[in-house]
Every structure is written in structure tokens, then in C-alpha cells.
């Protein structure tokens, strides 16, 4: 399920590429930051590119988990990259690190990827699988070549204590003027997403900034997302999409 917040309401679409404003771009460089489902989001984008026959390369400036899938490439080379794109329509690349994770490829290899003329999708932040994050002083790691920034938040954070579901809760609490023991409100997500010290931190001036409200898995969260979209619109953030990548439960 994918919605675009437009004309003061949520409008459903079936294409994440359309929702993220990527459909008309030949060679975008997309950096996903924040928390609450970045990898899942990049999986969906990569699959849509593959289904279109365009192909996409997924990599990281921080780290991603290595999966036992044939399109993962742990010894990056131009030939191996081309082979995976030809066979699978996507290639996930990185250098093996600790705990089954892949780290960033050398800067020189980024140039090779860009020279191939395919969309590049980058996981540019880490959040230890938590639904909410406020970045540290050296985060996120967004390449200057980025054309689109997707700032991701998990709606399942709302109602839970900040200290339990937020990565770097002390920073978030200071920014929001709250205690880390207080529950997260829907407006808190909007305030973080609109902030130059949080969601918009490190976003290149010319990049398209989009807020992604993920895990809208029931009607209550969808209504919550609409409220956040309205709040962000008032803050000048005009691109908001709402996603759920699981089948809604009955009665929701």
C-alpha cells in the first residue's frame, strides 16, 4: 500500500517510483536516511526498477545486512556488477564487514557505477532497526551527488517511550523539548522530519526531499499519517508518501 499526500489528502498509488518522484529521472542517485524501514523501501524501489527493465544498483555509505540472494555482490567488479544487472535487474554491493554486514565500496567504484547510467539507491544511515532516529554529529552520510533524499519514519513509534524506540533518543528529546521517558506523538515525527537538525540534516541543496511514513499498517496509522502530512505541509515540506509493505489485518 502506497499513498501520496497531495491536495490535503492521501491519494493511493501502486508505484513507489511514481510516489517518490523518480519515474521521470533516468539516472537518479537516491539516499535513504532515518529509520523504520529503509532497507524494505530500497527493496521495493529496486524491484520496481527491475520490473521496468531498467535495473538498479543498491549500495551503502554506512552498512547493510548481507542476504543470501543471488543479486548480492561482496567482491565488487564492473563485470560482476553488469552480470547481476543483466540476470536479475538489480545488484546489491558492499564490502564484507562484521556481523554479516556490508560496508561502503571505495569512492572509485561509485564512479564506475555512475558511469553505467543506472539508478543508484543508497542506504545512507543506520538506526539499529528502530522506528525513529535523530542523527548524530557525523550522520547521515549522504553523497553530494544525491538527487533524491528519502527520510524514513516508522509510524509504530507513536505512543511508545522515546528511549525504547528511538536511536539517539537524547538528541531527539532535546530537539523536541521532551523527556526520553515520554511517549512519541505523531507531531513529533513531523517536527523531526521538518528539522534541519534531524530529517533534513545533510540533504544537498538541490536534492528532492521526501518524507516517507512507513508501517501504516492499519486505519489508525493511516489517519495519523494524514495528520503528519498536513503538519509537514504547513512546515513547507510538500513531498510526503505513506507506505505499508505488509497486508493489513482484517478489520483495519
Q: What is the pLDDT of residues 203-212, one digit of tens each?
A: 999 999 999 9
Least Cα distance to 135 among 144, 124, 146 occurs for 124
pTM of the entire structure?
0.95
What percentage of the chain reaches a pLDDT higher than 70? 98
Q: What's the pLDDT at 250?
A: 39
CA dihedral 4, 158, 201, 22 (to 10 degrees): -20
Please tell me the distance from the alpha carbon of residue 160 to that of residue 137, in angstroms, as a whole number. Answer: 25
DSSP-assigned beta bridge partners for residue 5 = 10
Res 249 pLDDT > 80: no
Q: What is the pLDDT of residues 130-161, one digit of tens each?
A: 999 999 999 999 999 999 999 999 999 999 99
Cβ-proximal residues to 136 (8 Å cutoff; 6+ apart), any chain = 168, 171
In terms of phi and psi (left: phi > 0; alpha: psi -120 to 50; beta: otherwise), the region of 251 is left
Cβ-proximal residues to 70 (8 Å cutoff; 6+ apart), any chain = 84, 87, 88
- Tell me the mean pLDDT in the region 88-98: 95
- Tell me the mean pLDDT in the region 112-135: 94
Q: What is the pLDDT of residues 23-46, one digit of tens each?
A: 989 999 999 999 989 999 999 999
Model confidence at 247, pLDDT cuts 50, 70, 90, reads low
Q: What is the pLDDT of residues 38-90, one digit of tens each?
A: 999 999 999 999 999 999 999 999 999 999 999 999 998 999 999 999 999 99
What percentage of the chain reaches a pLDDT higher than 90? 90
Q: What is the pLDDT of residues 212-226, one digit of tens each?
A: 999 999 999 999 999
Res 251 pLDDT > 90: no
Please tell me the distance from the alpha carbon of residue 93 to that of residue 236, in angstroms, as a whole number. Answer: 35
Amino acid at each position: 500500500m502506497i499513498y501520496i499526500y497531495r491536495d490535503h489528502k492521501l491519494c493511493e498509488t501502486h508505484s513507489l517510483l511514481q510516489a517518490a518522484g523518480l519515474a521521470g529521472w533516468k539516472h537518479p542517485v537516491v539516499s535513504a536516511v532515518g529509520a523504520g524501514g529503509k532497507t524494505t523501501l530500497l527493496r521495493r524501489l529496486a524491484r520496481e526498477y527491475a520490473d521496468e527493465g531498467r535495473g538498479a544498483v543498491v549500495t551503502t555509505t554506512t552498512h547493510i545486512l548481507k542476504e543470501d540472494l543471488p543479486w548480492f555482490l561482496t567482491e565488487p567488479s564492473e563485470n560482476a556488477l553488469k552480470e547481476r544487472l543483466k540476470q536479475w535487474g538489480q545488484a546489491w554491493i558492499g564490502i564484507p564487514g562484521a556481523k554479516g554486514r556490508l560496508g561502503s565500496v571505495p569512492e572509485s567504484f561509485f564512479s564506475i557505477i555512475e558511469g553505467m547510467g543506472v539508478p543508484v539507491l543508497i542506504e545512507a544511515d543506520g538506526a539499529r532497526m528502530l522506528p525513529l532516529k535523530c542523527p548524530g554529529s557525523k550522520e547521515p552520510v549522504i553523497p553530494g551527488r544525491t538527487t533524491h533524499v528519502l527520510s524514513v519514519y516508522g509510524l509504530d513509534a507513536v505512543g511508545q517511550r522515546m528511549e525504547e524506540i528511538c536511536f539517539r533518543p537524547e538528541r531527539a528529546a532535546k530537539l523536541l523539548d521532551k523527556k526520553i521517558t515520554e511517549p512519541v506523538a505523531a507531531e513529533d515525527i513531523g517536527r523531526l522530519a521538518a528539522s534541519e537538525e534531524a530529517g533534513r540534516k545533510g540533504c544537498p541543496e538541490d536534492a528532492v526531499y521526501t518524507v516517507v511514513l512507513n508501517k501504516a499498517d492499519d486505519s489508525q496509522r493511516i489517519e495519523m499519517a494524514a495528520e503528519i502530512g498536513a503538519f509537514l505541509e504547513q512546515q513547507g515540506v510538500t513531498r510526503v508518501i505513506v507506505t505499508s509493505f505488509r497486508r493489513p489485518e482484517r478489520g483495519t
